Each structure stands twice: as C-alpha cells, then as structure tokens.
Amino acid sequence: MTIPRIAWIGAGNMAQRAHLRTYAQLASETSCQLVGLLDTRRGLAHQVADRYRIDRIYTDIEELLADVPRNIDGICAILPYRQHQYVLPQLLSMGLPLFTEKPLALSVSAGEQLLAIGQSHQTVHMLGYHKRSDASIRHAKALIGQWQESNQYGDLNYIRVTMPPGDWVFGSEQPLIGSERIAYEAQDTPTDVEDVSAYDAFVNYYIHQVNLIRFLLDEPYHVTFGDRRGILLCGESQSGVSIVLEMAPFRLAQGWWEQVLVGFERGFIEVRLPAPLATFPGQLRVVVEERGQVTETQPILPPVSAMRQQAVSFLNVIQGVEDPPCDAVEALEDLRIATAWFQLREALEQNLS
C-alpha cells in the first residue's frame, strides 16, 4: 500500500500546535508524506513549511486542486470554522478524504449545506473530535458496550462530563506567528439563536463534550434543561439514560481537570482526560460491585496521545481500512444540540423576565 500523500491548508495557531507537528513526525516515520502547504500569508507559509519539512508552497486553492488526484491522496484543512461554509465546498467537491477541525460549521444551516455537498460527491469528511481517539475513552467505550451486552452490572443510568477551563496547550511547541493578517469578507452567522457571541464561544469550547457524550452513549440524545448561567446542559438519551455536561463549575489557571463519569447500577467508569495538546492518554478507573464485594482497577493504556491516534486514523481512512472516528453526519448533530440548548436557555430567560 502506498504512503498517503497529504496536502495541507492552513498554517495558523491550531494547525501548528495541534496537528502539523504530529503529521511531520509521522512523515519522518514514512507513515505519510506532506506534499504541499497552502496559506494566503505567504511569509508565514514559508516559515511553517521550513519548520515541518514541506517542500512545496501552493499559491492558491486552484493550484492545489489542480494537483488532485495525481499527487494528493487526502487533504487536511485546519481553518477557522466560521469560514468552513465558504472554503470547504470546493474541497468537498473533489471527492478526496478531507480532515478539518471541529465543529462542522458555526450554524446548523451551514452544516447542512456542507454535509449535502460532501454526500453528493461521496467525500469522506473526518472531523477533529480527538477525544474519541484517546486510549482511555476508547477503552471506556469498549467496557460500556461489554457491560450493556452482558448486563453484569445492571443498566447504564448516567453519563456526566465536567470540563472546566484550564491549561489546554500544556507546554506545546510555540507556533510561528507571521506579521500578515487575513481579512475575512464574510463569516458564518447563525440566525436561530439570539446571543450569537455566547453561542460561538460554546461551540468553540464545549462542542467536544457534546460530541463525546453521544460517542459513549452510542445513541442520540436530546436536551432537557439549560440553566441561565450556562453551567449545565442536561439531557436524556433515546433509551432513557440521563446525561449532564458541566461547563466551568470552577476555573483554575493551572492544570486540566476534565472528567467523565459513566454510571451503571453496580459500578462506574471514571476517566480523567489530559489537556488537549498533551502527549499522553487519559487515566481510567473502573469500580464494580460483585457479590457484595467492591473492586477497583486502573487499566494500563498504550502511551499514545489522542492527537497522534487521530492522525493515524485519518491516514487509515485515506487507505480505506478505517471509518472516520467522527464524520460530518455526527458533527451536524452537535450543532443541533448546541442550538437546542441555547434556544431552551433563551426561552427560560424570557419566561423569568
């Protein structure tokens, strides 16, 4: 099987911090090849290409697309999600596997348009929900499935995710910063929520957790409550499992305190997730009761970061040996949940005013 050839779009902060260093390492291991980089900030593009050993600089999107499919097997486009609506249609229409960061878009309507374009061209669009690739989450999901099938510890009752703000960069490599700036002519703007700024912040910070809950449930859920302060999102799954997302119940300047609790009738699974840019997986604790005896175990997990495993998954997607951990269909559901939560909160505010 040939080595996947990746064309890269975007040389900004997230592209460098979260993704390019990982793909450059995989390229050094001959797991992939970075064939070219496109960013309208030409000076920055050359600096970043030098740092990550990318030989070619594309001058515009047309030049990159002209290289398809002769020299390109997949595209990574790490761009502001508010611009997805305007940039991704061209890429989706090429039919090559595409990786972008979360979320799919800012508004539900833009997400629907992108999904329709991708489906019409049979394009595999993988979204960067890296928590699905963390070894601790993968292990937890496998345990949930086993416990549900065997009913050994009773029914699945409850999933809670707590995600207070913290040190998300975790000492990662400082990005190169150019002096050029991008002037965006238009940006995706939702029309179905009133406080667009607050909604944008929620989608930016907490859409990961909205997505993670569905991944662990392995079924849809809907929102049932949203407090006016924006700390709690409560819901219920299709089969009646209660879910809670706690956002910023506290704030600490140092460390990363994200936690997942999955409760069954006679046991629970607890995950302590690392900072998003950490180079190690989360920690897992499993507590169960059998015949009146409570036991606790802490499974040993492979020392692979979520970002690296996510990148490996995309290379596997390109080669047709793995389905995307998260595709555009699921990513659109995240936007619908986010919108429903905001609409519920806004309705509560109006009723109490």
Every domain of the chain and the residues it spans = 5-129+310-324, 131-305+335-352
Per-residue pLDDT, 184: 76
Amino acid (one-letter) located at 30: T
Q: What is the CA radius of gyration of the chain?
A: 21
Element (H, E) at 210: helix 196-217
Place of tokens 């709690």: 232
CA angle 200, 40, 198 (to 5 degrees): 5
Burial 274-287 (b: 16+ CB within 10 A, else e): bbbbbbbbbebbbe
End-to-end CA distance of the chain: 63
Per-residue pLDDT, 1: 59
Class of domain 5-129+310-324 (CATH, top level): alpha beta
Q: Which residues pair with 287 in a beta bridge?
A: 268, 296
Per-residue pLDDT, 311: 98
User: Counting Cβ atoms within 10 Å, is residue 268 exposed (0-12), middle (13-18) or buried (19+)?
Assistant: middle
Q: Which fold has domain 131-305+335-352?
A: Dihydrodipicolinate Reductase; domain 2 (3.30.360)
Q: What is the mean pLDDT of each run of 10 residues along the chain (353 residues)?
A: 92 95 96 97 96 95 90 97 96 97 98 98 98 98 98 98 93 87 83 95 97 98 94 97 96 93 98 96 97 96 97 98 98 98 90 75
Burial 197-230 (b: 16+ CB within 10 A, else e): eebbebbeebbbbbbbbbbbbeeebebeebeeeb
- pTM metric for this prediction: 0.96
